[in-house]
Structure 1
Amino acid sequence: MHDALFAGLQTPSPTGPAVDPDLVTPGFWGFAFIIFIALAVIVLVWDMLRRIRRGRVRADIREELLAEQQAADAVRASDVDDQDVDPQDDPDRRA
Structure 2
Amino acid sequence: DPTLPPSTIPDEAVTPGVWGFVAIAFVAVATVLIVVDMTRRVRRTRYRGEVRERIQAERDEATLAAAALD
TM-score (norm 1): 0.67
Q: After TM superposition, where is structure 1 displaced by more than 3 Å over at least 4 residues in a row?
A: none
Unaligned runs of 5+ in 2: none
Higher-RCO chain (CA-CA 8 Å, sequence separation at least 6): 1
Larger radius of gyration: 1
Look up the match of 2:46: 56
| Matched ranges for 1:59-74 at <5 A | 59-74=49-64
Question: Partners of 1:23 and 1:78 in 2: how far apart?
Answer: 84
Q: Which amino acid aligns with 2:53?
A: E
Q: Which amino acid aligns with 2:22?
A: A
Look up the match of 1:37: 27
Question: Partners of 1:14 and 1:42 in 2: how far apart?
Answer: 42
Question: Partners of 1:70 and 1:31 in 2: how far apart?
Answer: 59
TM-score (norm 2): 0.88
Cα RMSD for the two superposed structures: 1.4
Q: Which amino acid aligns with 1:48?
A: M
Question: Partners of 2:26 and 2:4 in 1: how far apart?
Answer: 39
Unaligned runs of 5+ in 1: 1-10, 81-95
Superposed displacement of residue 73, structure 1: 0.5
Question: Partners of 1:22 and 1:41 in 2: how far apart?
Answer: 28
